[in-house]
């Protein structure tokens, strides 16, 4: 069934970009119904937004005709996702306070649908303690608040607060509602309509991006490793495997042959993916060797750095207060070994979880391990919540030629971006 977005446009200079967003969403065969706040109409007209959505634009809570034909509750019930773009500081403050004094805020208070807010405002408003407090609370309440871009602003100042570009917003929306994002639909003219007014993209048989990796073999490691100490104990870490599985899923949807070498995780195998389950780093290394050759390897696993020097056959017994009889030895570095392997994949991608000096540490890891790209997880800033086990990720893609930051995105959206970059290279 066609996916539907309820787009709430609030009043900021970036409101004009909502027109572009609607255009790109509709090209992705996503229906858009729009609501404007009163101040949004000072920046763009309901007529121009209505032309883009090819639908009535809603604004007045007390418009009886609207309420009779389609009540404010109904507006959000029909949507798969509510997107606020741009989301002003004022609107987010009202959301945080639970204020419902117009149609937009009433919908937001009454809805049971996921909400994605795309902020845009002056840098000082963004940095203000009140705004940051509101955003923190909204994120805790389950609202997805994207982090705005930095740069020159319409007001002449410089810093964070610029609206993220519509293609990037679309990418996040697509990841949220399970639509394949296609960069090629983000540029060019308005959506082409047939004489009957139907958007041609509705007739698009093949989802965007499908099969661009046909004939390629992608090798992915994911999850933690478990290093046995004795029959009942092991060394482990908090990796959930979600990011690696999301990458495997995206690669398979792009038509690649995917070998997913998974440590112990409780996740379903993505459709079309060959999964090889392993426990320890040593097992993971042999499974990687067995799966070669590959066109690209993406090493997402959080491999344990050490294992017990001796895996005891029987449960190790305590000896009073004596130190644990445990000696650890280093595990092989699977990524570094693959970089020197005679069957080294053409593109070798490592991951790095860092909490400080992210770019410096990641660049050092890139050259130390001999891989082509390092994807650095910024585990210090993701929504104030843990990246490990969580659903969001802040990452930097670091290559020999530069770096790209993907901010506070879902793991599915991060996977989509990474696989698009990889598909470009392959």
Give the up-direction half-sphere exposure of residue 261: CA atoms within 13 A in the CB hemisphere.
28
Number of residues that bind ligand CTP (CB under 6 A): 16
Q: Which of 96, 350, 387, 416 binds ligand CTP (CB under 6 A)?
A: 350
What SS3 class is residue 417?
helix
170 or 221: CB nearest ligand CTP = 221
Active-site residue flag, 85: no
What SS3 class is residue 30?
coil
Q: Which of 155, 174, 296, 371 is catalytic?
A: 155
Q: Kindly indicate which of the ranges 149-157, 269-277, 326-334, 395-403 contains the residues binding ligand CTP, using the contact rule CB under 6 A.
A: 326-334
Q: Which of residues 233-272 bind ligand CTP (CB under 6 A)?
A: none
Contact in structure between 210 and 378 (CB atoms under 8 Å)? no
Contact in structure between 317 and 298 (CB atoms under 8 Å)? no
Positive or negative torsion for Cα 56, 58, 60, 64: positive
Q: Kindly indicate which of the ranges 27-35, 138-146, 211-219, 350-358 contains the residues binding ligand CTP, using the contact rule CB under 6 A.
A: 350-358
Q: Which of residues 358-377 bind ligand CTP (CB under 6 A)?
A: 365, 369
- What's the min distance (Å) between Cβ of 330 and ligand CTP? 8
Instruction: Give which of 281, 303, 171, 168 is closest to 224, Cα–Cα.
Output: 303
The answer to whether residue 352 forms part of the interface with ligand CTP (CB under 6 A) is yes
208 or 301: CB nearest ligand CTP = 301
**Surface-to-core class of residue 390, CB atoms within 10 Å of its CB (0-12 exposed, 13-18 middle, 19+ buried):** middle
19 or 375: CB nearest ligand CTP = 375
Write out the E strands in 13-65.
Answer: 31-36, 57-58
Q: Could you give the C-alpha distances from 145 to 243, 282, 392, in angstroms and in order?
A: 20, 40, 11
Give the up-direction half-sphere exposure of residue 204: CA atoms within 13 A in the CB hemisphere.
22
- The span from the CA of 85 to the CA of 113, in Å, is 16
Binding mask 158-187 for ligand CTP (x = CB under 6 A): ------------------------------
Q: Kindly indicate which of the ranges 38-46, 169-177, 344-352, 413-421 contains the residues binding ligand CTP, using the contact rule CB under 6 A.
A: 344-352
The answer to whether residue 351 forms part of the interface with ligand CTP (CB under 6 A) is yes
92 or 301: CB nearest ligand CTP = 301
Long-range own/partner contacts, residues 152-159 (CB < 8 A, 24 or more apart): 153/122, 153/123, 154/13, 154/14, 155/13, 155/122, 157/122, 157/123, 157/124, 158/123, 159/123, 159/126, 159/127
- What's the min distance (Å) between Cβ of 222 and ligand CTP? 9
Instruction: Give which of 418, 28, 393 is closest to 248, Cα–Cα.
Output: 418
Q: Kindly indicate which of the ranges 119-127, 242-250, 258-266, 349-357 contains the residues binding ligand CTP, using the contact rule CB under 6 A.
A: 349-357
Q: Kindly indicate which of the ranges 63-71, 150-158, 333-341, 389-397 contains the residues binding ligand CTP, using the contact rule CB under 6 A.
A: 333-341
The answer to whether residue 331 forms part of the interface with ligand CTP (CB under 6 A) is yes
What SS3 class is residue 321?
coil
88 or 331: CB nearest ligand CTP = 331
Q: Which of residues 279-318 bind ligand CTP (CB under 6 A)?
A: 281, 299, 301, 303, 305
The answer to whether residue 51 forms part of the interface with ligand CTP (CB under 6 A) is no
86 or 350: CB nearest ligand CTP = 350
Q: Which of 80, 168, 172, 333 binds ligand CTP (CB under 6 A)?
A: 333
Q: Which of 335, 387, 406, 409 binds ligand CTP (CB under 6 A)?
A: 335
Q: Which of 57, 103, 334, 423 binds ligand CTP (CB under 6 A)?
A: 334
User: DSSP per residue over 72-141, as a string?
Assistant: HHHHHHT-SEEEEEEE-HHHHHHHHHT---SHHHHHHHH--S-EEEEE---HHHHHSHHHHHHHHHHHHT
Tokens 């020159």 belong to residue = 152
Q: What's the token pair of residue 257?
A: 């042959």
- Give me the torsion for CA of 238, 241, 244, 250, rounded to 10°: -140
- What's the min distance (Å) between Cβ of 375 and ligand CTP? 8
Helix intervals (H) in 28-85? 46-53, 64-69, 72-77
The answer to whether residue 353 forms part of the interface with ligand CTP (CB under 6 A) is yes
26 or 369: CB nearest ligand CTP = 369
Residues found near ligand CTP in the complex (CB under 6 A): 221, 281, 299, 301, 303, 305, 331, 333-335, 350-353, 365, 369
Active-site residue list: 155
């Amino acid at each position: 069934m066609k996916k539907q977005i309820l787009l709430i446009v609030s009043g900021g200079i970036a409101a004009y970009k909502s027109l572009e967003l609607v255009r790109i969403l509709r090209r992705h065969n996503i229906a858009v119904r729009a609501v404007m706040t009163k101040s949004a109409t000072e920046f763009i007209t309901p007529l121009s937004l209505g032309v883009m959505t090819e639908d009535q634009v809603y604004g007045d809570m007390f418009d009886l005709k609207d309420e009779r034909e389609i009540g404010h509750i109904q507006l959000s019930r029909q949507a798969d996702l509510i997107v606020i773009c741009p989301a002003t500081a004022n609107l987010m403050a009202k959301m945080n306070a639970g204020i419902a004094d117009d149609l937009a805020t009433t919908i937001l208070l009454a809805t049971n649908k996921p909400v994605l807010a795309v902020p845009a405002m002056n840098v000082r408003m963004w940095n203000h303690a009140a705004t940051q407090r509101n955003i923190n609370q909204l994120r805790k309440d389950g609202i997805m608040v994207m982090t705005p871009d930095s740069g020159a602003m319409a007001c002449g100042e410089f810093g964070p607060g610029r609206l993220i570009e519509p293609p990037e917003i679309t990418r996040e929306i697509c990841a949220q509602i399970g639509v394949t994002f296609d960069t090629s639909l983000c540029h060019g003219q308005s959506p082409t309509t047939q004489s009957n007014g139907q958007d041609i993209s509705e007739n698009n048989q093949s989802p965007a991006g499908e099969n661009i990796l046909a004939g390629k073999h992608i090798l992915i490691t994911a999850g933690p490793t478990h290093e046995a100490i004795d029959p009942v104990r092991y060394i482990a870490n908090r990796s959930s495997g979600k990011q690696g599985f999301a990458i495997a899923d995206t690669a398979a949807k792009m038509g690649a042959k995917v070998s997913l070498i998974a440590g112990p995780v409780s996740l379903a195998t993505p459709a079309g993916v060959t999964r090889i389950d392993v426990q320890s780093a040593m097992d993971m290394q042999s499974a990687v060797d067995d799966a070669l050759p590959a066109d690209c390897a993406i090493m997402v696993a959080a491999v344990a750095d050490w294992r017990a020097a001796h895996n005891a056959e029987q449960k190790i017994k305590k000896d009073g207060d004596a130190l644990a009889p445990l000696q650890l030895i280093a595990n092989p570095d699977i990524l570094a070994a693959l970089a020197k392997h005679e069957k080294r994949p053409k593109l070798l991608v490592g991951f790095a979880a860092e909490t400080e000096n992210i770019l410096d540490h990641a660049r050092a890891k890139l050259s130390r391990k001999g891989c082509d790209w390092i994807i650095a997880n910024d585990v210090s800033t993701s929504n104030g919540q843990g990246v490990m086990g969580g659903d969001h990720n802040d990452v930097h893609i670091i290559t020999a030629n530069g770096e790209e930051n993907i901010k506070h995105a879902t793991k599915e959206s991060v996977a989509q971006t990474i696989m698009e970059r990889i598909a470009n290279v392959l």
